[in-house]
């Protein structure tokens, strides 16, 4: 990550292909150092938020390991490959992929996202807000598998499913929710994201995740294909889908809008403000420029610092423990509906003057 006053260092690009085990093996080999760094970062975060040491975290992950092996054996085989390639234990990798669930919702990822069905295309976009300590461990990854779409995503080292899209034109964004309960008999959200990215339509993604029993924790997945976006508020107690409004727009931040199945105490005071703000700014952009491009969307919406530090473009809050301070680490805008899906990634806080150049996916 670039230091203050410097342009952000662009992320590594990793290309994986083969069987699930081969994909994992190469993932682990190429990103061994970054995976170990992730474990160090999350060890400190678990200690701060949940009073758990890493051996305790690994122990909690045993139930999730059994679940992933039972429900998604290909994904588990990939995790085994990652562990082998990185010379770590399988429970280390399962723990990274179940970190949202093991922390009982105490990891406060920020993130503001929108999906937008336009006249001749569909946009799916978000700022990903998280601790800057993981930024150097994030990569652009492509995964080529047999009989499945090719995946392009921005992910953390060691994690099998994250924010991105596939060659069939299905894309996902993620907003963390802090709520209880969690259920280790269901899919960790990062595995559920991978199931979505392995799907050929958003309807197939809905069906597959639902048929597998749903998601282990309360989260928000914004999913889109060429037909349009849907806001998907998932939880182990039940899911809710929110369709776009009359302008084709659906937005989300870090609280449930319609899902009342779970116990969600107020936790991130800026989330409702950001939700209202991202809606307002998007509508203003629509009114002023009907044929705007991705740069205008970044400039007018995702660079916004209103209500800082809890802004759409998030800044670190010095009042919070260093282990859990969040800031916007990247922005991604994916476009569907015209030939092949494409995405633009900006590494760093958009509009800050320190973000890197626009990176195209596929590359």
49: phi then psi, degrees, rounded to nearest 5: -90, -35
Considering the chain, what percentage of its residues have pLDDT values greater than 70? Answer: 96
- Is the pTM for the entire model greater than 0.85? yes
| Banded pLDDT at 135 (limits 50, 70, 90) | very high
Strands 327-336 and 138-144: unpaired
Q: Is the pLDDT of residue 3 over 60?
A: no
Measured CA angle at 326 (ends 324, 330), to 5 deg = 140
Please state the separation of Cα 194 from the chain's center in Å: 10
Strands 240-242 and 358-361: unpaired
Q: How far is Cα 55 from Cα 171, in angstroms, rounded to an integer?
A: 34
Q: Is the pLDDT of residue 320 over 80?
A: no
Q: How far is Cα 48 from Cα 8, in angstroms, rounded to an integer?
A: 28
- The first and second tokens of residue 245, run together, are 């409004």
Give the residue, 51 or 193, on which the prediction is more confident. 193
Query: Which pLDDT value is given to residue 1?
Result: 38
Query: Which pLDDT value is given to residue 318?
Result: 81
Q: How far is Cα 254 from Cα 240, in angstroms, rounded to an integer?
A: 15
Domains of the chain: 18-101 (1.10.10), 108-361 (3.60.60.10)
Q: Is the pLDDT of residue 105 over 90?
A: no
Q: Is the pLDDT of residue 107 over 70?
A: no
Q: What is the mean pLDDT of residues 303-316?
A: 93
Q: Is the pLDDT of residue 4 over 70?
A: no
Q: Is the pLDDT of residue 51 over 90?
A: no
Q: Is the pLDDT of residue 2 over 90?
A: no
SS (H, E, C) the chain: CCCCCCCCCCCEEEEEECCHHHHHHHHHHHCHHHHHHHHHHHHHHHHHHHCCCHHHHHHHHHHHHHHHHHHCHHHHHHHHHHHHHHCCCHHHHHHHHCHHHHCCCCCCCCCEEEEEECCCCEEEEEEEEECHHHHHHEEEEEEECCCCCCEEEEEECCCCCCEEEECCCCEEEEEECCCECCCCCCECHHHHHHHHHCCCCHHHHHHHHHHCCCECCCEEEEEEECCEEEEEEECCCCCEEECCCCCCEEEECCCCCCCCCCECCCCCCCHHHHHHHHHHHHHHHHHHCCCCCHHHHHHHHHCCCCCCCCCCCCCCCCCCCHHHCCEEEEEEEEEECCCCCEEEEEECCCCCCCCCCEEEECC
């Amino acid at each position: 990550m670039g230091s203050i006053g410097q342009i952000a260092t662009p992320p590594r690009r990793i290309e994986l292909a083969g069987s699930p085990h081969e994909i994992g093996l190469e993932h682990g080999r190429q990103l061994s150092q970054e995976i170990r760094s992730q474990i160090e970062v999350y060890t400190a975060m678990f200690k701060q938020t949940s009073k758990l040491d890493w051996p305790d975290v690994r122990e909690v992950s045993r139930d999730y390991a059994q679940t992933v092996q039972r429900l998604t054996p290909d994904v588990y085989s990939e995790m085994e490959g990652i562990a082998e390639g990185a010379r770590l234990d399988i429970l280390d990798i399962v723990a990274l992929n179940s970190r949202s669930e093991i922390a009982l919702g105490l990891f406060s990822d920020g993130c503001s996202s929108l999906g937008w069905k336009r006249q001749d295309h569909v946009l799916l976009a978000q700022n990903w807000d998280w601790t800057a300590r993981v930024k150097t461990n994030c990569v652009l990854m492509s995964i080529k598998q047999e009989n499945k779409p090719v995946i392009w995503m921005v992910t953390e080292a060691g994690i099998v499913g994250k924010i991105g899209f596939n060659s069939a034109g299905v894309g996902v964004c993620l907003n963390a929710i802090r709520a209880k309960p969690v259920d280790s008999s269901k899919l960790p959200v990062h595995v559920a994201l991978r199931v979505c990215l392995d799907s050929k339509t958003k309807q197939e993604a809905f069906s597959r995740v639902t048929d597998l029993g749903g998601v282990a924790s309360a989260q928000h997945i914004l999913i889109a294909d060429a037909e349009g976006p849907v806001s998907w508020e998932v939880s182990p107690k039940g899911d809710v889908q929110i369709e776009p409004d009359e302008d084709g727009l659906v937005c989300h931040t870090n609280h449930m809008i319609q899902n009342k199945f779970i116990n969600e105490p107020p936790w991130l005071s800026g989330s409702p403000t950001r939700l209202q703000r991202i809606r307002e700014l998007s509508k203003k952009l629509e009114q002023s420029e009907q044929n705007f491009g991705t740069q205008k969307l970044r400039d007018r919406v995702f660079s916004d610092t209103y209500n800082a530090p809890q802004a759409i473009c998030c800044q670190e809050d010095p009042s919070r423990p260093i282990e859990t301070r969040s800031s916007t680490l990247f922005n991604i805008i994916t476009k569907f509906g015209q030939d092949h899906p494409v995405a633009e990634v900006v590494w760093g806080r958009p509009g800050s003057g320190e973000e890197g150049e626009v990176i195209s996916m596929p590359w």
